[in-house]
Amino acid sequence: MGSDQAARGGGARPAALAARRRAAGAAVAAARAASAEQGRAGELRLARREELGDALFSIVNVARLSALDADDALHGAIEKFRRRFSDMEADLAARGTSVSAVAPDELERSWEAAKAEERGEKRS
């Protein structure tokens, strides 16, 4: 280090330390920002979960007021979904493809065809 650098307190080492401090400060700021974003995402997820719970509670209450068993209705819906999904898989397999290999619009067409077949409508 030259005498003029020493007089100014300069040199490579103090500059490197200052750069390291700035980098560390930037890393801490980035980590805090990421943490805040995760916190907001968590809060949003919690709010959505609460809203879904409210909606489900309301649906169960409508079933109760209509003298319907919500549990039976749910099990029936699950069975209907399983039948239709199985029909959809069979349809796609007959065409040499699968659920994981087709585009969403093709899945929708196959799903609608399974529903139509279940209702006794002509399959397209």
pLDDT digits (tens, 9 = 90+) for 44-92: 999 999 999 999 999 999 999 999 999 999 999 999 999 999 999 999 9
C-alpha dist (Å) from residue 11 to 6, 22, 24, 25, 70: 7, 17, 20, 22, 76
C-alpha dist (Å) from residue 118 to 37, 70, 74, 121: 46, 23, 18, 7
pLDDT band at 29 (very low <50, low <70, confident <90, very high): confident
pTM summary value: 0.57
Q: At what angle do helices 104-118 and 70-94 cross, to 10 degrees?
A: 110
Rounded CA-CA distance 95/41 in Å is 42
**Span between the terminal Cα atoms of the chain, in Å:** 84
Question: Is the distance from CB of 101 to CB of 111 less than 8 angstroms?
Answer: no
pLDDT given for residue 28 in this prediction: 78
Domain boundaries, the chain: 8-68, 69-124
The helix (H) or strand (E) run that includes residue 70 is: helix 70-94
